[in-house]
Structure 1
């Protein structure tokens, strides 16, 4: 048996995904999906530009530059003059794209697929000398795989304390990098088996606002590049990394693995495009909170915040551990990351200001006594009409001291596949984020380069994203 073939060619999930990846090409992808993909990439780039102005970005880049010994690499860091080795650049760019929690989400998979797939495709594409078309194809492949692998768990990873973006992102990134490296189907199957020992991502950051979630997709991208490089040289990976006895779902979900639907991992490959079911965020906060944020904003003109007796926020039961508990922490977020995962705080912001933007999760806003007083009045309840995971539904019910009850419900969160942001709205979001970091002229040049990236190559795109 050839060395690059798995020990068994039975139809495992990894072999099916490998065959799909090996055969995927530009013409096989509908034109509207290719166009939408470039807008998702643009969205991530805008977020990365804005993130580059924050302290976590400075500390990240200082650390990675130190690891390189100051030696220049080949892949640019978005919005910066720095170039790093491909794996370090993938980590850095992943942290920037995900660092503000403003990036897209596949709702069914509960996974942020772009922020591992795009940095991985950029780094692996530069390393492989890939064309822009090849980069876009590999990026779309990453979205398709991450979305399906996340969907299998039906939200279970969050329930047991793992962040699926980091877990499944390692596998999808292995295929992204392997596709760009020109691996055979057998080698792509091995790359996934190798990635099984690399996927990670703890939700412990929810307890204290730690920065660790920011690194999950970039770490997945870097791991995927490593897995693909090893597979290219004949390194042997596990044959059944998903359905095996100690595969992804059994190892990470334990008894909850029985709730998985493994068929979702490969359902509709090449006919149903999960990119079109991936939501662009209108708010820089955990996607689970968006229904309630929008509901609070809609209620804001009707509510005298000084005359509120009680506020009830209805949320899907599956998200309670993430955005509602522990209650004391959520009502007094310690930092911006805490705030982005706090239903009480975000509902209070929406009611008080009729908006929710990056400035609302920074100091001095975090210490605003009026917002904190409103947050103290917010209690959560499990939403009996939730559309989770297809939609991240939310409802806010405000009981006033004069006996009135005001409420607004968002059954389908804005930006969801059934209520999507248009490509034009994505561009406007990009421009707003980019304006925080670069000049209008520079923003326009980056926008043009991303939307026309299929006409150039990965190296040119990388250069256009740097200063």
Structure 2
């Protein structure tokens, strides 16, 4: 029988933390519809490919080398690297790898990158108990289902108030999944959520200057979850009103002016599956840019646009997205580094119009200093889109005025990759081949595809995670 919150259970577990603990403890993989499990495997494969691509980047080597120097050797693999680290350092590194190039999935309504925490957590927590591939899937799904709901409850408010839900909220999904894997009792798991409330973090200040803080958020959330579970299992008492309390998650981080939908935290658990609403990324930039990239590519193709013939570009964007990809305008028109460029709407539009694509190869120093790109950035402005579907969908519309007097428009109501406009399995496999092949030979890439798609058959998780593709430390 599925782990559904019945009226009886809901009454007995009046607190959100208790209801979530009940769900995490009672859910079985057999309760989960096959389509949800299959989708989960595709998202795990996608996250693994992104992590492997990240392993070739400078930031990854700096982070992994730093952690290896601090922590010393451990038993837990780092994706794409030959070293093994202690468990909390390994999940910090692996979270940075999945999230580090902003090519990982996003739960649209929750505006949270769920796999960046869920995959590193599931691999490490399952290895720690000598579990199986089925345990990896179960841990991953518990994290996705709970973290997504908690993020949905905020109604986009964390971003508006300067907090990154991929760090803040993922800690709670991770603590529930880790607690389940480690066999915590319901009371202990309730306390663990209260403890991780004091550890969850994620400031958006990185957005001001292209800093690397964001890359560390998801893995830090998992490490905090593991610490909280360890303490709770030892009898350390945590706050019970983790979410709805006077100083709980929502009141502390949303303030008085932004009212959360608290019922969303537990609504539909075990019946409706948020896994199916997680969007995959076709482009390695902030998800808020994607509809505009598709609009730019569509206009370029339909009208054979030459960039030098463009007088101006105006983007119509939801007001709550502006602070991430549009402002400060001067900064967004001059990204300070390739990472900063991933959060610039003018840059994304300009690259798409000039190059006819936006891949990892375009996120480079040469592109952010290209005079053609910068010139078009200067001709790009934005206005508030009153018809935006955000946060349900990340809509985008462009109005391009040409020097010959033409006005060209295109609107993408639903961002490609979302549940309403999903990438196919073939799309996901092709993306994985492109990302993973940056670190691995083709034969190993295909081997990993087969292993993930048949994850239920994996019996030795330690062998599985140890084969995630070694690279030499820089």
Aligning the two structures, in what range does the TM-score lie when normalised by the shorter sequence?
A: over 0.9
Select 1:433's aligned residue among 432, 435, 443: 435
Partner of 2:181: 180
- Runs (4+) of structure 1 exceeding 3 A deviation are none
For residue 229 of structure 1, report the CA deviation from its aligned partner: 1.5
Q: Which region of structure 1 is more displaced relative to structure 2, 194-203 or 129-138?
A: 129-138
Alpha-carbon distance in structure 1 between the residues aligned to 2:248 and 2:257: 13
1:156 and 1:253 in contact (8 A); partners too: yes
**Residue by residue, what CA displacement relative to the aligned partner does 1:396-453 show, whole Å, maximum 9, x if unpaired?**
1100111100111100110011001112211111111011111101111222222222
For residue 42 of structure 1, report the CA deviation from its aligned partner: 0.4
**Residue by residue, what CA displacement relative to the aligned partner does 1:96-127 show, whole Å, maximum 9, x if unpaired?**
00000000000000000111111011111111
Partner of 1:339: 341
Alpha-carbon distance in structure 1 between the residues aligned to 2:70 and 2:177: 25
For residue 10 of structure 1, report the CA deviation from its aligned partner: 5.0
Partner of 2:106: 105
Report the secondary structure of 1:398's partner residue.
strand
1:46 and 1:430 in contact (8 A); partners too: yes
2:279 and 2:417 in contact (8 A); partners too: yes
Report the secondary structure of 2:397's partner residue.
strand
Report the secondary structure of 2:243's partner residue.
coil
Alignment of structure 1 residues 115-264 onto 2, 5 Å: 115-257=116-258, 259-264=259-264
2:440 and 2:469 in contact (8 A); partners too: no
For residue 217 of structure 1, report the CA deviation from its aligned partner: 0.3
Select 2:463's aligned residue among 460, 463, 466: 460
Paired positions, count: 457
1:449 and 1:464 in contact (8 A); partners too: no
Alignment of structure 1 residues 357-372 onto 2, 5 Å: 357-372=359-374
Alpha-carbon distance in structure 1 between the residues aligned to 2:311 and 2:39: 45
Alpha-carbon distance in structure 2 between the residues aligned to 1:383 and 1:215: 32
Distance 1:349 1:364, change over 3 A: same
Partner of 1:74: 75
Report the secondary structure of 1:449's partner residue.
helix
Select 1:49's aligned residue among 28, 48, 52: 52
**Residue by residue, what CA displacement relative to the aligned partner does 1:182-219 show, whole Å, maximum 9, x if unpaired?**
11222211111111011100100111000000000010
For residue 9 of structure 1, report the CA deviation from its aligned partner: 6.5
Alpha-carbon distance in structure 1 between the residues aligned to 2:118 and 2:230: 16
Partner of 1:290: 290
Alpha-carbon distance in structure 2 between the residues aligned to 1:103 and 1:417: 15
Q: Which region of structure 1 is more displaced relative to structure 2, 184-193 or 244-253?
A: 184-193
Report the secondary structure of 1:408's partner residue.
strand
**Residue by residue, what CA displacement relative to the aligned partner does 1:260-282 show, whole Å, maximum 9, x if unpaired?**
10000001000100000000000
For residue 256 of structure 1, report the CA deviation from its aligned partner: 3.2
Alpha-carbon distance in structure 2 between the residues aligned to 1:129 and 1:189: 25
Distance 1:10 1:31, change over 3 A: closer
Which residues of structure 1 form unaligned runs of 5+? 1-7
1:13 and 1:243 in contact (8 A); partners too: yes
Report the secondary structure of 1:112's partner residue.
coil
Which residues of structure 2 form unaligned runs of 5+? 1-10
Partner of 1:3: none
Alpha-carbon distance in structure 2 between the residues aligned to 1:216 and 1:439: 30
